[in-house]
Structure 1
Amino acid sequence: MWLYNFGLMLYALAIRLVSPRHPKAKLWIEGRKNLFERMARTIDPKARIVWIHVASLGEFEQGRPIIERLRKEFPEYKILLTFFSPSGYEIRKNYSGVDYIFYLPIDTPSNARRFLDIAHPEIAIFVKYEFWINLLTELRRRSVRTYIVSAIFRRNSIFFRPYGSIWRQALESFDTMFVQNEESKSLLSDLGFDNVVVAGDTRFDRVAEIAAAAKHIEIVDRFRGGQRLFVAGSTWGPDEELLIPLMNENPDVKFVVAPHEMDEGRIARLLAETRGGGVRYTRCTPQSDFSGVQLLVLDTVGILSSVYGYASWSYIGGGFGVGIHNTLEAATFGLPLAFGPNYQKFKEARDLVTLGAARSVTSADELRAWFAPLRDDEELLRKTSRIAKDYTTRHQGATGIIIRTIFRKENSRQ
């Protein structure tokens, strides 16, 4: 345990040292200044609190269906949401679906005690990952009902290593572990845990909600016109290396490319090297003429999930880096998917590849070979689209399982 605490101290020190030169690290430090004082001023000491913790934005989207179901069905509770990462907190710090939003303090024993003294949760829910040992130990000591949702365990993770004893002990803090698949349940069973429910992944519920609430985006609608649209989401440089030849070889297809980061050099290159002409979304007006424009660069945030609704095919970026981005937002609209080779960590991507709704590509030639049949064969396109849509529909329902289980147990205690 001392090694864990020492490692946290080094981590916090490293963040502090780089913060003057690293904007994200600076936000990490600044967001935690006077944290407990701000919490004490804000959180009602008499409120019944459900605390939900997420690492960053992706985990927030997984937790959001639970938050919104809680708000609707159990209004007697106040909801406290915490983030570990600035990339989640800074984007969602004004989210109106909860009562309190804060950063999570660094997980020292004293911080864990102080945080829980102020937050006083009746229920604690961790989303997917984030196994903070001191907090989990203190939650168990206080008999706070604690859960993890949409979790996934792999045999090569630290829990199953000879040196993972403190992490295995941390799992004892959870009253129920809601996992995504049978493999996770089996692995936990090997460790002696029988408090495991295979509920699935709440992201399927979230993307269904997103699709149902998709916005009409007038600029995208006019840009597409009467042509078919290809949408590439959350792209990085290596993804765009493949996409530029595809655009130039398909002048009759319209393309939307949404870079993951607004890198001006990459945006300029996309616009310059697309022979059919391109324009930035933020430069468009209701009077913009798209008749001679093949590429629309989506240089804004918050609308990509709705843009997928206008498409016939999609490409998901990130697969030439640490891993692909969200495939489900596109698949829920019934879009065939392509992405780079680093997708093995994502069960839904593996499933879609196995089913034939997605393909991993490593070169422009492979992307071309995937796209051409789907462009030219309407029946193949319909079949592939149906597989993608059916997959996302079939896996919905995790949120209901989680809420019913937690509150059935909670009510049984009263």
Structure 2
Amino acid sequence: MRQLYSFFIQVFEWLLPVLGFFSAKLKEFRQVRQGVFSRLKSDLNPGDQVIWVHAASLGEYEQAVPVLEELRKNYPTAKIVLTFFSPSGYTIRKNTPLADVVTYLPLDTPVNARKFVKLVNPKLVLFVKYEFWPNFLEELKTHDVHTLLISGIFRESQPFFKWYGSWMKQSLNTFRHFFLQNKESLKALKKMGFTNASVSGDTRFDRVSRQRTYDNSLQFIEDFKQDQLLLVCGSTWPEDEKLLIDFINSTSIKVVVAPHKIDAEQIADFIKQLKRKSVNYSDYKQKDLPEAEVLILNHVGLLTKVYAYADIAYVGGAAGTTGLHNILEPATFGIPIITGTHIDKFPEAQDLRRLAGLFTVSDATETETLLNKLVSEEDFRNQTGMIAGHFISSQTGATQEIMNYLNSQTLTA
């Protein structure tokens, strides 16, 4: 079955030049990977001690950050190679100081896997969460490379548990240890016969917890907020904005709206619905900010720091089917969180809702009622925020468990 999988991946790679004529995404997919091997040849030397960390996309990178920081401190002479599969991760973090080489992961063909592993020659490999590439894993196993999965998640809906994907279980033998997010994942792994696993938790909690220790100051937000309450609506989609628009138009507090997709047309449509004075981040003038009532954050990379100024947060993605975005970023600052109702695949959101640190809303009326309650009742707002903040602090420690394991091993990196 692996041979059949490899055959189809190889055919896809051969067809990419042709498919690129019909799809801009596939054209980009091919183009960004064309220079991977030459980049590795120029940036790595045969004698380098290399640690390879693979994060599928931006979310997995954020999970890897606290581990990358510790690897930098514990293995200062090692070179860190960071790979992404998705452009959303690579484009935003290609210049991160936490890695020496940042590049795309080539397609998972046997030839690519052999060439990549030979060039990188890693002494330690960490895969984040749940992206498994059988040929790369098989090649790492062939070379007996110390390979770990961190912040791993296993569900019985994954191919490993289906008749058509049982062959993929063999690739899991590559991992020396599985650091898992929850007990359900541990139970699922044990069902497949793996016992080299432990529940360490999710390194995202360490990542967001550390955010409080960084400099989160933003002068433009201070100029905008003044001494008023601030609602930050992060990573919103049109479905979320439909829930929020009535409240935004009727409230007197300041509001920041940070669309997940920076689409000029969609943003213009949203602004047309506003009855309050608004300004875009991309063209604001400092003198305009104090009088503005709604700030559209049409810029990537600032939202995490903006949450530090929020009194209430709405996190987008769960009003529709796109998927809930990061609730942990605002929670770490101890503020109440509101989302849409589609949180079934997000255990951290379900856990926080059970604790009453997060509320879900299904329509504009429900959204407006809840937000007005949070605005008018300070004790309710503070109590809800305190629950959210405590939830984060109680879940930290996964990074330290991973580093304790590495410190107990004989690693040459």
TM-score bracket relative to the smaller structure: over 0.9
Aligned counterpart, 1:271: 271
Of stretches 356-365 and 254-263 in structure 1, the one that deviates more from structure 2 is 356-365
For residue 47 of structure 1, give the secondary structure of its aligned residue in structure 2. coil
Cα-to-partner distance string for 1:355-407 (whole Å, 9 max, x where unaligned): 11112222112212322222222111111001000000111111111111123
CA offsets per residue over residues 2-56 of structure 1, 9 Å max, x none? 2311332354456544434544433321121142222112211101111101111
Displacement of 1:70: 0.5
Structure 1 counterpart of 2:75, one-letter code: F
Q: Equivalent residues in 2 for 1:86-105 (5 A)?
A: 86-105=87-106
Aligned CA RMSD, in angstroms, stands at 1.7
Instruction: Provide closer, same or farther for how the CA distance between residues 351 and 76 of structure 1 changes in structure 2, counting only shifts above 3 A.
Output: same
Per the alignment, do residues 332 and 10 of structure 1 end up closer, same or farther by CA in structure 2, a change over 3 Å counting?
farther
Q: Which residue of 2 aligns with 1:126?
A: 127
Q: 1:212 to 1:350 in 2, by over 3 A?
A: same
CA distance 1:222–1:50, shift in 2 (3 Å):
same
1:194 equivalent in structure 2:
195
User: Pairwise mapping of residues 32-47 of structure 1 onto structure 2 (< 5 A)?
Assistant: 32-47=33-48
User: Counterpart in 2 of 1:312?
Assistant: 311
- 2:56–2:131: 8 Å Cα contact kept in structure 1? yes
* TM alignment of 1:380-399, pairs within 5 A: 380-399=380-399
- Distance change >3 Å, CA 210–CA 4, structure 1 → 2: same
SS of the equivalent of 2:212 reads helix
2:300 aligned partner = 301
Sequence identity (%): 39
AA matched with 1:336 = P
1:68-100 Cα offsets, whole Å, 9 max, x none, are 111012112111111111111122112122111
Asked if the contact 1:214–1:305 (Cα under 8 Å) also holds between the matched residues in 2, the reply is no
Name 2:4's counterpart in structure 1.
Answer: 3
Counterpart amino acid of 1:47?
D
Contact 1:54 1:126 in 2 (8 A): yes
Shift of 1:205: 0.8
Runs of 4+ in 1 over 6 A off after TM superposition: none
CA deviations 1:319-339 (Å, max 9, x no partner) are 112311111101111121111
Matches within 5 A, 1:332-411: 332-411=332-411
* Residues in 1 aligned to 2:258 and 2:170: alpha-carbon distance in whole angstroms: 43
CA contact (8 A) 1:331 1:389 kept: yes
Q: How does 1:144-155 map to 2 (within 5 A)?
A: 144-155=145-156
**Can you give the 5+ residue segments of structure 2 that lack an aligned partner in the other structure?**
none
User: What is the aligned partner in structure 2 of residue 258 from structure 1?
Assistant: 258
Question: In the alignment, does 2:260 pair up with 1:249?
Answer: no
CA distance change for structure 1 residues 340 and 13 in 2, over 3 Å: closer, same or farther?
A: farther
CA distance in 2, matches of 1:4, 1:136: 14
Q: Map residues 205-216 of structure 1 onto 2, 5 A cutoff.
A: 205-216=206-217
Moved more, 269-278 or 198-207: 269-278
Q: Conserved in 1, the CA contact under 8 Å of 2:130 and 2:154?
A: no
SS in 2 for 1:279: strand
Residue of structure 1 in register with 2:236 after alignment: 235
Contact persistence 2:335–2:382 (CA under 8 A):
no
Where does 1:172-191 land on structure 2 (aligned, <5 Å)? 172-191=173-192
Q: Distance in 2 between matches of 1:241 and 1:133?
A: 42
Partner Cα distance (1:154, 1:393) in 2? 26
Q: Which residue of 1 aligns with 2:68?
A: 67
Alignment coverage as a number of residue pairs = 411
Distance 1:217 1:134, change over 3 A: same
Task: Indicate the larger mover: 6-15 or 79-88.
Answer: 6-15
Give unmatched runs, 5+ long, in structure 1. Answer: none
1:29 corresponds to: 30
Could you tell me whether the CA contact under 8 Å between 1:229 and 1:255 is conserved in 2? yes
